[in-house]
């Protein structure tokens, strides 16, 4: 990585979830230079084991100064950061300077906000990279990954859910949809994938599958205007567990357009539950 990839030391701006720790562990295992800049209070406690520091969402000046002091010349922004109540955020001077542009972008949607945030980091001389540039092995591959493959009915649900997710993404809303026998059961918004799957699990079994008669699929794919350096769709073992609890037959993601955390464990969990995990290509959708 490092010089070959176009940077010397990577700053990991880390929110919550599995991806930030997976990325930090990868950098540590490969000997790549990195520094974890945790976003309080969202970053998981386990990240404190890695060299780095922690600032709240408004302390942008302190964060940037610390990243520069650590020798970082590139940044990757990963993990879940919920939109805060701005009235409760304590901004430092640099944060106050950035706030107008970020707030204006936030009104246009998440992707616009992320683009504005990246532009601010680039003004300070950082190269902003995507997690897929660091962890190429995590990018979703085409085809069925485990012992179970989608049948014709599941392929039809995948195609419809993919089109619905694309339409939803055009409004900069979410990256996921659940479809069962052609019926749209759920669309992902601000609650995230795990909460969406819990909603599906609470629906009557007449419209969804169950453990002994699985039906329906969760599809995640990038938005049409997706800023792929920051917010690629991600799935992990928890996604499989949520889909299984909702009675779904499987999970599908766009090949090359999603990150897969702990693929071996994910496939094992899917096989054990009798679910398929599938990477579709855009030309399959029609």
Q: Tokens in use for 222?
A: 């990038």
Least confident of 1-5, 21-25, 97-101: 1-5
DSSP conformational letter for 146: S
- Averaged over 217-223, what is the pLDDT? 94
Instruction: Report the topology of domain 2-134.
Output: Rossmann fold (3.40.50)
Confidence band, pLDDT 50/70/90 cuts, at residue 229 = confident
Q: Tokens in use for 87?
A: 């009235």
Strands (E), the chain: 10-14, 34-40, 52-56, 74-78, 127-128, 143-144, 176-180, 183-187, 217-220, 234-235, 250-254, 259-260, 276-280
DSSP result, 85-131: -GGG----HHHHHHHHHHHHHHTT-HHHHHHHHHHHHHHTTPEE--H
* 3-class SS of residue 196: helix
User: How many residues can be counted in the chain?
Assistant: 286
pLDDT in tens, 177-195: 999 999 999 999 878 899 9
Q: Tokens in use for 219?
A: 């599809």
Q: Rounded mean pLDDT of the chain? A: 90
Query: Which of 66, 78, 73, 76 has the alpha carbon at shortest distance from 9?
Result: 73
Q: How far apart are CA 8 and CA 251, in angstroms?
A: 37
* Domain ranges across the chain: 2-134, 139-285
DSSP conformational letter for 24: H
List Cα–Cα distances, 186 to 189, 195, 222, 282, in angstroms: 9, 11, 17, 21
List Cα–Cα distances, 210 to 50, 132, 149, 273, in angstroms: 41, 34, 18, 11
Residue 4 has pLDDT above 50, yes or no: no
**For 1, what's the count of Cα atoms within 13 Å in the CB-facing half-sphere?**
22
List Cα–Cα distances, 166 to 101, 144, 254, in angstroms: 27, 21, 11
* 3-class SS of residue 17: coil
Residue 61 has pLDDT above 90, yes or no: yes
- pLDDT at site 163: 95
pLDDT in tens, 242-276: 999 999 999 999 999 999 999 999 999 999 999 99
Q: pTM of the predicted model, to two decimals?
A: 0.82
**CATH number attached to the domain at 139-285:** 3.40.140.80
């Amino acid at each position: 990585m490092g010089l070959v990839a176009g940077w010397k030391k990577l700053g990991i701006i880390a929110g919550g979830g599995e991806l930030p720790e997976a990325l930090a562990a990868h950098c540590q295992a490969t000997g790549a230079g990195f520094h974890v800049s945790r976003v309080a209070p969202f970053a998981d406690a386990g990240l404190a084991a890695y060299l780095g520091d922690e600032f709240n969402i408004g302390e942008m000046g302190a964060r940037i100064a610390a990243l520069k002091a650590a020798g970082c010349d590139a940044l990757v922004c990963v993990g879940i950061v919920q939109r805060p109540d701005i009235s409760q955020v304590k901004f430092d001077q640099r944060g106050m300077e950035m706030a107008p542009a970020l707030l204006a972008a936030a009104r246009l949607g998440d992707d616009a906000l992320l683009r504005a945030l990246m532009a601010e980091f680039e003004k300070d001389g950082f190269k902003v990279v995507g997690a897929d540039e660091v962890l190429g092995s995590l990018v979703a591959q085409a085809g069925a990954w485990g012992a179970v493959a989608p049948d014709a009915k599941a392929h039809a649900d995948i195609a419809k859910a993919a089109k619905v997710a694309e339409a939803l993404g055009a409004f900069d809303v979410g990256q996921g949809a659940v479809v069962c026998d052609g019926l749209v059961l759920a669309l992902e918004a601000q609650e995230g994938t795990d909460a969406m799957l819990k909603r599906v699990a609470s629906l009557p079994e007449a419209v969804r599958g169950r453990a002994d008669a699985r039906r329906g699929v969760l599809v995640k794919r990038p938005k049409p205007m997706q800023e792929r350096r920051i917010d690629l769709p991600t799935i992990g073992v928890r996604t499989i567990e949520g889909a299984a609890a909702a009675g779904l037959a499987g999970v599908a993601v766009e090949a090359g357009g999603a990150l897969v955390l702990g693929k071996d464990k994910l496939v094992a969990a899917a096989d054990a539950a009798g679910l398929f995990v599938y990477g579709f290509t855009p030309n399959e959708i029609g």
